[in-house]
């Protein structure tokens, strides 16, 4: 009788203690950090992705998104994932100049026509060219975003209109491009652009259309020149990945890579269209360049870009081959339905 009671107690104990302990051991709660604010399309993508992981894992994999640099300053975002402070981080390459030289090189003007093709092209080139410069973290997806030129004092229609203007740049490639056109490049974090424009400490900014509303930026003119882009990386802490069960690793693999790059790219293109509409509604004069005007901007920056490529080649980087392959991948994904 005592033996039966002991067995019964053991069963009851397992119901109240053993099963929950097993469930807790199979449940993973991770953190994703981003500099982007709530409402930005990249933040929206991260949240939708987190929801997908939750649903497809049956609640075993939960990711909490921390926007607006809550977990660390913008230049630290990549290292948050690398060091494990965050499990995932979404950030811009350009905020740490020189750290991701080939990724930054893709920012050259007039190579990537839209984010959909650019994001997929860059992600496709990750194994061959870009994995080596993303040491310490597991890169899940790369993405691109287009930039427009926003100014207050001058409506920019020609490269010479930029002469002497202090223009915010997001990275070293954009800075070199602006310098070649006679502008004075000034780095300002995205969150501080609105204040800098209002105070007149900068005369304009290279910025994504969507950022007008996301970061409350106001300007008089917007030159839609189709030039420089910026790039982003979604990185994961390798130890976090290795500590997940194989089925959850596969879930992350299946929902990132090229499918995520396409989703992010399409989201960026849609956000640019919406941002342009917001600019018109806000009274910003939009300047659409003619083919000849755009060619003038292209020609004025060529020498600077050739110099950067030559400098990277001298350091042993396959810069010229990378740009050639980037153009080929962009052409491929531009033709893909």
Q: What is the pLDDT along the chain (337 residues), one digit of tens a residue?
A: 444 334 333 333 333 333 333 355 689 999 999 999 999 999 999 999 999 999 999 999 999 999 999 999 999 999 999 999 999 999 999 999 999 999 999 999 889 999 999 999 999 999 999 999 999 999 999 999 999 999 999 999 999 999 999 999 988 899 999 999 999 999 988 889 999 999 999 999 999 998 888 888 999 999 988 778 999 999 999 999 999 999 999 999 999 999 999 999 999 999 999 999 999 999 999 999 998 998 998 898 888 889 999 999 999 999 999 999 999 999 999 998 8
- Does the residue 101 lie in any domain? yes
- What's the chain's Rg over C-alpha atoms? 23
Strands 166-169 and 229-236: unpaired
The Cα–Cα gap between 271 and 267 comes to: 6
Asked whether residue 240 is assigned to any structural domain, the reply reads yes
Q: How many domains does the chain have?
A: 1
Q: Which residues pair with 141 in a beta bridge?
A: 234
Whose CA is closest to 201, among 225, 165, 240? 165
In a domain, 14, yes or no: no
Q: How many CB atoms lie within 10 A of CB 9?
A: 10
Pairing of strands 166-169, 184-187: parallel
- Say if 44 falls within a structural domain: yes
pTM above 0.85, yes or no: yes
| Residue 10, in any domain of the structure | no
Contact 231, 142 (CB under 8 A): yes
Question: Do 337 and 130 form a contact (C-beta atoms < 8 A)?
Answer: no
328: CATH: 3.40.190.170
Which residues span the domain enclosing 313?
27-334
Binning the chain into helix, strand and coil, the percentages to the nearest 5 are 55, 20, 30
Does residue 12 sit within a domain?
A: no
**Residue 20 lies inside a defined structural domain of this protein:** no
In a domain, 11, yes or no: no
What residues pair up with 169 in beta bridges, in sequence order? Answer: 187
């Amino acid at each position: 009788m005592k033996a039966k009671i002991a067995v019964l107690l053991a069963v009851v104990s397992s119901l109240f203690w053993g099963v929950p302990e097993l469930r807790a051991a199979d449940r993973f709660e991770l953190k994703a950090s981003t500099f982007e604010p709530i409402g930005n399309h990249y933040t929206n993508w991260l949240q939708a992705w987190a929801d997908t992981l939750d649903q497809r894992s049956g609640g075993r994999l939960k990711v909490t998104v921390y926007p607006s640099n809550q977990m660390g300053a913008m230049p630290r975002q990549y290292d948050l994932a690398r060091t494990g402070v965050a499990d995932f981080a979404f950030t811009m390459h350009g905020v740490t100049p020189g750290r991701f030289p080939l990724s930054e090189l893709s920012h050259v003007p007039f190579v990537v026509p839209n984010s959909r093709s650019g994001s997929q092209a860059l992600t496709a080139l990750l194994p061959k060219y870009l994995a080596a410069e993303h040491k310490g973290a597991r890169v899940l997806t790369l993405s691109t975003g287009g930039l427009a030129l926003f100014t207050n004092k001058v409506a920019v229609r020609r490269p010479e209109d930029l002469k002497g203007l202090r223009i915010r740049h997001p990275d070293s490639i954009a800075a070199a491009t602006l310098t070649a056109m006679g502008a004075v490049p000034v780095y300002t974090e995205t969150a501080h652009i609105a204040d800098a424009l209002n105070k007149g400490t900068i005369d304009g900014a290279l910025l994504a259309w969507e950022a007008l509303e996301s970061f409350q930026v106001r300007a008089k003119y917007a030159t839609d020149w189709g030039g420089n882009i910026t790039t982003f990386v979604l990185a994961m802490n390798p130890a976090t990945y290795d500590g997940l069960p194989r089925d959850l690793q596969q879930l992350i693999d299946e929902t990132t890579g090229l499918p995520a790059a396409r989703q992010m790219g399409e989201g960026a293109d849609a956000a640019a269209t919406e941002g342009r509409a917001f600019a018109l509604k806000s009274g910003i004069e939009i300047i659409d360049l003619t083919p000849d005007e755009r060619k003038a901007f292209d020609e004025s920056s060529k020498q600077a870009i050739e110099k950067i490529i030559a400098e990277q080649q001298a350091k042993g980087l396959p810069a010229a081959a990378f740009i050639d392959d980037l153009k080929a991948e962009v052409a491929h994904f531009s033709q893909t339905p």
